[in-house]
Amino acid sequence: MNVQDIVNTVSQKAGLDQATTEKVVGTIFSVLEHEAEGTSASAFFAKIPGADDLAHQYDVMAAAPAGGGGFLSSLQGALGGVLGEKAGALINGLAALKASGLDMAQIQKAGETLVQQAEAAAGPQLTNQVLGSVPSLKSHLGLG
């Protein structure tokens, strides 16, 4: 199972269009990539071809678009600076998910389906290990 299979399934089960689903999946993978660094994250991404590329495409730690942002991005920058990159990745990721126009129920359905697909691709133990290193992401996705 590759990342496109996961995007297709999440799109279908969560009732989202392909572009929105790709952004949601890429954003969640980017948060995991930044927050769950180490061998478990590397092994996880190795089991899902294309997940790494999608995470980089929607990198939550990439510079904010020039001239944009306003209060929220300055708040994110301040919190990210105070709390470190890991918390910054989560804050940026959650802001990106909310900015995609989805409500929490849609984000949770997409996240739940994504986790199910990731477990099928990478195995439940490895998926839980990676998600376990980012417990606050699980709670924001309504998974824990």
pTM of the model: 0.82
Domain that holds residue 120: 3-140
> What total number of domains does the chain contain?
1
Most confident of 69-78, 119-128, 135-144: 119-128
Per-residue pLDDT of 48-93, as tens digits, reads: 999 999 999 999 988 554 444 554 554 545 444 444 455 678 888 9
Residues 85 and 102: their CA atoms lie apart, in Å, by 25
Provide, rounded to the nearest whole percent, the portion of the chain with pLDDT above 70: 81
| 132: CATH | 1.10.490
